[in-house]
Amino acid sequence: MGEVDVKLGIRQTLQKIEEAYGKRSAISNAPKPVLVAVSKTKPVELILDAYSIGQRHFGENYVQELVEKANDARILEHCQDIRWHFIGHLQSNKINKILNLPNLHMIQTVHSTKLAEGLNKAWGKLKEEHAEKSAKLNVLVQINTSGEDEKNGVQPEEAVGLYRYVLERCPHLHCEGVMTIGRFGHDYSTGPNPDFSTLMKCHQEICTTFERDPADVQVSMGMSDDFMQAIEEGSTIVRVGSSIFGARAKKVADA
């Protein structure tokens, strides 16, 4: 753990975000990207390090790990403004585990009407029981841009439909935009990442269909090895883990 300089990783990542945003800002009015530091499998101590220099948005892939970290006494005491993003596959039977957590900011992986409906009902019930949860739950529509069976998300042609479902049928959810994981290891010497192009096309279709300002609809794409290219393509949320926290060990499926 001592070999990883998280503070340096945060600073270098933010510098690269500024650099990529500078290239994009001349042709787009989209907001400066938000850095979500992906802390999955990493200890609380490293989250505390990142928080201490101003990092506020953190992403977790596994339900149980997020439950443990969000309720950790050190996090609750020293990271009162932390904003948790859930960026993994969420099963319907684990919705309540996630929604009850302190400082939950966003569910980035709404991949079906069933999950949207479950989140909407559960958040509505929580709002009735807890006055502090008066706001809507922030969500993103997850799109499977690569067509890989192991990736979750609706097909690109279904993106507008799922966005519409959340907008019109889920009054307790605030659909902030779209997200993709995409295929790993794109060779940029062959040209732009097709997953990024596909997600931006979905973004444009949503903005046109619902008459939204593109700058108001979030785009979550890009990770440690390609977040700069993602920003140049239009990303407003990047999910960076290993560049900040170091390489991570493989983890078995969520309990």
- Does residue 101 fall inside a structural domain? yes
Is 16 contained in some domain? yes
Predicted pLDDT at 210: 97
Q: CATH number of the domain at 102, please.
A: 3.20.20.10
Write out the H or E segment, with its range, that includes residue 199.
helix 194-209
Report yes or no on 245 lying in a domain.
no
If you compute the radius of gyration of the chain from its CA atoms, what whole number of angstroms results? 18
Kindly state the tokens that stand for 96: 């309540």
Contact present, 179 and 138 (Cβ < 8 Å)? no
Domain containing 207 equals 6-240
pLDDT tens digits along 107-128: 999 999 999 999 999 999 998 8
Position 251 in a domain:
no
Identify whether the C-beta of residue 66 lies closer than 8 Å to the C-beta of residue 99. Answer: no
pTM of the predicted structure, to 2 decimals: 0.94
pLDDT of 1 strictly over 50:
no
- Helix axes of 6-25 and 44-52: crossing angle, nearest 10 degrees: 50
Asked if residue 224 is part of any domain, the answer here is yes
Burial of 130 from C-beta contacts in 10 A (0-12 / 13-18 / 19+): exposed
CB 229 within 8 A of CB 196: yes
> Is position 52 within any domain?
yes
Query: Domain count of the chain?
Result: 1
Strands (E), 111-251: 137-142, 173-179, 218-220, 237-240
Q: What is the pLDDT of residue 255?
A: 44
pLDDT score, position 130:
79
Report helix, strand or coil for 71: coil
Residue 248 belongs to some domain of the structure: no
Sign of the CA dihedral with 20 first, then 221, 67, and 175 last: positive
Enumerate the β-bridge partners of residue 106.
85, 138
Tens-place pLDDT, residues 12-51: 999 999 999 998 866 677 889 999 999 999 999 999 999 9
Q: What is the pLDDT of residues 61-99, one digit of tens each?
A: 999 999 999 999 999 999 999 999 999 999 999 999 999
For 150-174, how does the pLDDT look when each residue is reduced to its tens digit (9 = 90+)?
899 999 999 999 999 999 999 999 9
What is the tens place of the pLDDT at every residue in 211-254?
A: 999 999 999 999 999 999 999 999 999 999 999 998 766 554 45
Please give the backbone phi and psi of residue 43, each rounded to the nearest 5 degrees, phi first.
-75, 160
What amino acid is encoded at 3 in this protein? E
